[in-house]
Amino acid sequence: MADAQPTHDIEAVFRGKGIPFTRQRRLIWGYFAGADRAATIGEAAEALRGDGVGQATVYRTVTLLGDLGLLARVQDGRGEICFIAPPIGHSHPLICGVCRRVVRFDGDGDVADLEARLAATTGFSIYGHHLEVYGICPECRAAREGDHGE
């Protein structure tokens, strides 16, 4: 699935739960799913104001999408709570703590050694993991280097 575009059948998730997939919910999901960086609820509300979506609706919907596993909560370098569309298959997000750009990487076998060690030392049967990696992207690093001496 190397070239597969990330997609989530979000309508099926809503249908399966018997929750209406309204125009506003579609817009809010679309905002996060189409973003190449993590965004706060406030930023989503700002972007969607022209579409007549209020901040309270954005807040409630983001919470709902999170509960349904359709948005993942991450933090930026200042500890601000942001949201991204969740990983597809076994992939994980690498997030720039400065500009919040998100790069997804294939997680195949990533923590196999750790899981094997944990299974051996704890006796757990391990079936999964949750992983986010944080760093500073090349553009933000270059910008910082240009700044020094201030």
Q: Are strands 91-96 and 133-135 parallel, antiparallel or unpaired?
A: parallel
Site for Zn ion in 39-68 (CB under 5 A): none
Nearer to Zn ion, 33 or 131 (CB): 131
In a 10 Å sphere around its CB, with 0-12 CB exposed, 13-18 middle and 19+ buried, how is residue 24 labelled?
middle
Please work out the total of residues on this chain that contact Zn ion, with binding judged by CB under 5 A. Answer: 8
Q: Which of residues 65-104 bind Zn ion (CB under 5 A)?
A: 96, 98-99, 101
> Between 66 and 107, whose beta carbon lies closer to Zn ion?
107
Per-residue mark of binding to Zn ion, 104-143 (x: CB under 5 A) = ---x--x--------------------------x--x---
CB-hemisphere CA count at 13 Å for 73?
Answer: 12
**Nearer to Zn ion among residue 13 and residue 98 (C-beta):** 98
CB of 106 to Zn ion, least distance (A): 9
Q: Which residues bind Zn ion (CB under 5 A)?
A: 96, 98-99, 101, 107, 110, 137, 140
